């Protein structure tokens, strides 16, 4: 286990001092333990076992691939606009004026008057005076992500001053007016959005990068690959393990082809 894998090295390869100074004796003890275990494994002949050699080789290749993709992906950085697309929904808040009705028909009548051009505040005052609705004109800002789905959807496209249609809720019905919409700064949410966007962009980039490599340097026998069935009784695992048929040929650089056989795939599946 390398120091970086134990969380003790920064991305730049320098010793991490987060949370205090480095415990050098502890690091040294881990290094010594690793060496002792390796020596013990060698002395008992563990490295002479075919399955162990295959597992070690597979792990080494996976780590090499991981490091290559990590290096390639580092150059992909999200723009401020891409981050904002994820960040703004996380922190968005709305201020709503609320008309709450116990009778849906009263809500429909009020919504009709507002749609006909009467001012929301005037209607609200009339409803409050008659006791037809509970009115709240200066509510606190609410986090959009905490609103119930029907209300969140209804206010999503509103501009300040615009009004929702009648919305049914558990206790009756409401008509809402958007008073204000804001996106307060939140360092934790911005960091979360930045990380999420970066992961998504890097995953897409690496997918295209690998597809490009395959398209440029690999020739795959799609028919043979699709015909393999490791769950079938015939030809059986051992036969597939010894199968020399070529599944793919990799030519990088050209003229130095490396072949991947059915047996290679079978061995890989056995240790992965």
Full-model pTM: 0.60
Task: Please state, in angstroms and rounded to a whole number, the distance separating the CA atoms of residues 139 and 124.
Answer: 14
Res 271: pLDDT: 66
Residue ranges of alpha helices (H) inside 131-260 are: 149-155, 187-217, 222-227, 237-241
Per-residue pLDDT of the chain (272 residues; tens, 9 = 90+): 333 343 334 444 444 444 456 666 787 788 788 888 778 878 888 778 887 777 777 777 778 777 877 888 888 899 999 999 999 999 999 999 999 999 999 999 999 999 999 999 999 999 999 999 999 987 799 999 999 999 999 999 899 999 999 999 988 999 999 999 999 999 999 999 999 999 999 989 988 888 888 888 888 888 998 888 888 888 888 888 899 999 888 886 655 678 889 988 888 787 66
Q: Distances from the Cα of 88 to the Cαs of 31, 164, 165, 190, 193, in angstroms?
A: 46, 22, 25, 9, 9
> Which pLDDT score is estimated for 10?
42
- Which structure tokens are listed for 132? 């037809």
| Cα end-to-end distance, the chain, whole Å | 18
Q: Closest Cα to residue 225, out of 240, 246, 247? A: 247
Tokens standing for residue 211: 């597809």
Of 69, 66, 96, 86, nearest in space to 4 by CA = 66
User: What pLDDT is attached to residue 214?
Assistant: 83
Q: Where are the alpha helices (DSSP H) in the chain?
A: 24-43, 50-74, 80-91, 104-115, 120-130, 149-155, 187-217, 222-227, 237-241, 262-271
Task: State how far the Cα of 87 lies from the Cα of 193, in Å rounded to an integer.
Answer: 5
Residue (of 70, 90, 83, 71) closest to 197 by Cα position? 83
Contact yes or no for 248/218 (Cβ under 8 A): yes
Which of 268, 266, 270 is CA-nearest to residue 239? 266
Task: Select from 100, 120, 93 the least CA-distant residue to 175.
Answer: 100
Structure tokens that stand for 138 in this block: 């200066």
Closest to 103 in 3D by CA, of 175, 153, 152? 175
Q: Which pLDDT score, from 0 to 100, does residue 21 have?
A: 62
Element (H, E) at 260: strand 257-261
Which pLDDT score is estimated for 256? 64
Point out which residues pair with 95 in neighbouring strands: 180
Rounded to whole angstroms, how far apart are CA atoms 271 and 169? 55
């Amino acid at each position: 286990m390398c120091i970086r894998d134990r969380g003790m090295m920064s991305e730049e390869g320098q010793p991490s001092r987060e949370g205090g100074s480095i415990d050098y004796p502890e690091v040294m003890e881990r290094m010594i333990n690793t060496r002792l275990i390796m020596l013990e494994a060698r002395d008992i002949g563990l490295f002479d076992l075919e399955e162990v050699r295959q597992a070690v080789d597979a792990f080494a290749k996976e780590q090499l691939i991981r490091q290559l993709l990590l290096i390639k992906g580092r150059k992909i950085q999200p723009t401020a606009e891409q981050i904002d697309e994820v960040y703004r929904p996380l922190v968005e808040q709305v201020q709503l004026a609320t008309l709450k009705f116990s009778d849906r028909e009263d809500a429909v009548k009020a919504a009709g008057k507002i749609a006909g051009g009467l001012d929301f505040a005037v209607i609200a005052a009339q409803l409050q005076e008659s006791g037809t609705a509970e009115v709240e004109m200066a509510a606190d800002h609410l986090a959009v992500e905490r609103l119930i789905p029907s209300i969140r959807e209804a206010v999503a496209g509103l501009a300040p001053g615009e009004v929702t249609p009648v919305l049914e809720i558990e206790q009756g019905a409401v008509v809402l007016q958007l008073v204000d919409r804001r996106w307060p700064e939140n360092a934790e949410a911005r960091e979360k959005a930045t990380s999420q966007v970066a992961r998504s962009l890097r995953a897409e980039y690496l997918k295209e990068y690998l597809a490009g490599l395959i398209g440029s340097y690999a020739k795959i026998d799609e028919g043979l690959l699709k015909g393999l069935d490791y769950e079938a009784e015939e030809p059986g695992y051992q036969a597939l393990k010894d199968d020399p048929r070529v599944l793919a040929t990799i030519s990088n650089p050209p003229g130095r082809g490396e072949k991947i056989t059915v047996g290679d795939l079978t061995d890989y599946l056995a240790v992965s």
